[in-house]
A and B are shown apart, each in its own frame.
Chain A
Amino acid sequence: MSAASRRFGEPNPRVPHIVMAAGMLYFLVPLLWVVIAATKSQPDLLSSPALWFGRGFALFDNIGQLFREDGGVYGRWLVNTALYSGASALGATLLAAFAGYGLARFSFWGKGFFETALLGMIMVPATALVLPTYLILSRLGLVNTAWAVILPSLLSPFGAYLIRVYVTESVPVELIDAARVDRASELRIFWQIVVPMIRPAIVTVFLFTLVATWNNYFLPLVMLSDADLYPLTVGLTTWFNTAQQEAGTRVLFNLVVTGSLVAIVPLIIAFVLLQRFWRSGVGTGALK
């Protein structure tokens, strides 16, 4: 690279690459391990070198066994996870978009207080709410249903905050005024003018809430007791616990590993496909 093509204030171009290469090694080795380990049969997993392939290639056998074990319960877990996270992310994003827009472009009684409270809500640790929520939902008879996982996940104060910031910066008041003069309804203004303008923020909030619910463990662990309702995170840990306890009879380590791989692939694909969105979105959060 010639000196002229370098931007101002940049070090030797090799240094950053060395730093990043070291980082990549760290980030990727565990993932590489999962990919390799998922190709091994149970005996191979124990006997062959950890970061190299075993004697056979058992990936497809493992995947087959994964979806057959316990009457195909893994498939259910996968569907449950997609359902819980999809519904939660959609709902949370919609609520956050409405609220963020309402706070950014309207004035009403109590708004100032609510905006201050919103910052406080971001600081409230989600897991401190899980146990009390469990106790309330158990009185309402909602525990051990999909609702017990989806409803609490609709709460996304940070999402509402992010959208409020984004609307304030990118949706001109004049445009909304003009639409009002043209007698568009408030809801129509929101869907047809505001939503297209804040699409990057919406995709970001959607992605973050999707990942948060897809990866959530504590909430479903507390709320669900029926294995058919488990998401992947809780299901895999039950398998893992069984594998640890019944080490002699029914060893499931290869399934736990293969199940882990199958569980992370969809999210990684989602990130690769949507990366231009989350990149700009993460920045929105970072600048405020």
Chain B
Amino acid sequence: MTRALPRTAPEDGGAPRRPSIERAPRRGSRGVTAHSLAGMLFVLPFFLVVVAFLVVPLGFALYLSFFTKSLVLGSRFSGLDGYVRAFTDPLLLDGFLRVLLFGAVQIPIMLGIALAGALALDAITTRFAVLYRLFAFMPYAVPAVIGALMWGFLYSKTFGPFSGVTSLFGGDPVDFFGGPLLLVSLGNIVTWAWTGYNMIVMYSALQGVPREMYEAAVLDGASPVQIALRVKVPAIRQAISLAAIFTVIGTMQFFTEPQIMARFAPQISAGYTPNLYAYNQAFAYSNFNYSATISFTLGFVVFVVAYAFVFVSRRRGAGS
């Protein structure tokens, strides 16, 4: 805590109790003091960017979503028709379902591996730990586009080492780009890219847990596995839910990997994910109003899901 640090009062015997800057101005009215003005000026540039690139675009998307544009009638107000269309559009609903299914499988797998890796890394005290950490983090430095291209090559029947594995047993080459395996292939790309990052987040949190907690558990006769699951994991619950929230937000916006993979996999349609659908509505069909409707709906759904997630994990955290 800040207050614990030694005071650095000047030696010239000034006022013995300087009022804390955080409390003092609040005593006054709403009048702008020099202090509050300085604070506002510090936040102002950021605030302007927020307004210009978050508030205004969201507002504009909402505004556009109430209009329909057609060649014959031009732009006209259509109220909530866009939303009625969106929520009854089978392509969009399929996209949402696909992303939800994808997340429901991929996120627990990835976070599970990341957690196992973080616990393993936490137990390594040798110099290897530095190397492991670095290597685990490397996929994060690879742009999603390049990750998708790389895996596209690796999955390929002509370039890749994996599709021929089954031929050793006399089977046909594996088709990573079709059928039910396509979602798994996509899931693997995302897992590859983000597991190490999440692992480092959890590992850093583990490093911050006081070691005395483990000593107490050892004295109580807990085994290493019990300590890992009952002491270490609950101790870093916040880091785990943070990683989960960012993953949920990222998954809902799924775009790059399916868009790149569509070159390999014809099964990936224009509405494969909601974000891809919004993009194609705008740039393939010049349907900017409907694209704005989808963008706004997507933004709203992600926001609600993420917020609900925070709310639930906080309550569960507080309850135990």
Contact = CB atoms under 8 A, between A and B. Distances in A.
B91 interface: no
Nearest to A47: B158
A73 interface: no
Contact of B8 (A8, A154, A174, A270): A174
B46 A98 contact: yes
A102 interface: yes
Contacts of A160: 46
A50 interface: yes
Contacts of B200: 279, 282
A57 B42 CA distance: 55
B316 interface: no
B141 A20 contact: no
Interface stretch (B15-23, B74-82, B100-108): B15-23
Interface string B22-45: 110110001010011111111101
A145 B279 CA distance: 20
A288 B293 CA distance: 34
A93 to B, nearest CB: 11
A131 B145 contact: no
For A6, A174, A263, A286, which residue has the most chain B Cβ atoms within 10 angstroms?
Answer: A286
Given A109-B30, A178-B10, A135 B124 contact: no
A257 interface: yes
Contacts of A121: 50, 54
Interface residue tally on A, bucketed by range: 35 or more
Interface residue tally on B, bucketed by range: 35 or more
B145 A287 contact: no
Contact of B125 (A7, A11, A171, A279): A7
Given A107-B26, A182-B10, A99 B42 contact: yes
A284 B283 CA distance: 40
A31 B151 CA distance: 10
A260 B141 contact: no
B124 A34 contact: no
Given A114-B47, A155-B49, A178-B8, A106 B137 contact: no
Q: How would you classify the secondary structure of chain A's contact residues: helix, strand, loop or mixed?
A: helix
Interface of B: 1-3, 5, 7-10, 14, 18, 20-23, 25-26, 30, 32, 35-43, 45-47, 49-50, 52-54, 56-58, 60-61, 64, 113, 116-117, 119-121, 123-126, 128, 130, 132-147, 149-151, 153-154, 158-161, 192, 195-196, 199-202, 204-205, 207-208, 211, 214-215, 217-218, 222, 224-225, 227-228, 231, 236, 238-239, 242, 245, 249, 252-253, 255-256, 260, 263, 275, 278-279, 282-283, 288, 291-292, 295-296, 298-299, 302-303, 306-307, 310
16 contacts: A20-B121, A106-B38, A107-B22, A109-B36, A128-B275, A129-B295, A136-B60, A151-B52, A186-B42, A237-B260, A257-B153, A267-B141, A267-B142, A285-B201, A286-B239, A287-B238
Interface of A: 1, 5-11, 13, 15-17, 19-20, 23-24, 26-28, 30-31, 33-34, 37, 45-46, 49-51, 94-96, 98-99, 101-103, 105-109, 111, 114, 120-121, 123-136, 151-152, 154-155, 157, 160, 168-178, 180-182, 186, 190, 211, 214-215, 217-218, 222, 232-234, 236-237, 240-241, 244, 253, 256-257, 260, 263-264, 267-268, 270-272, 275, 278-280, 282-283, 285-288
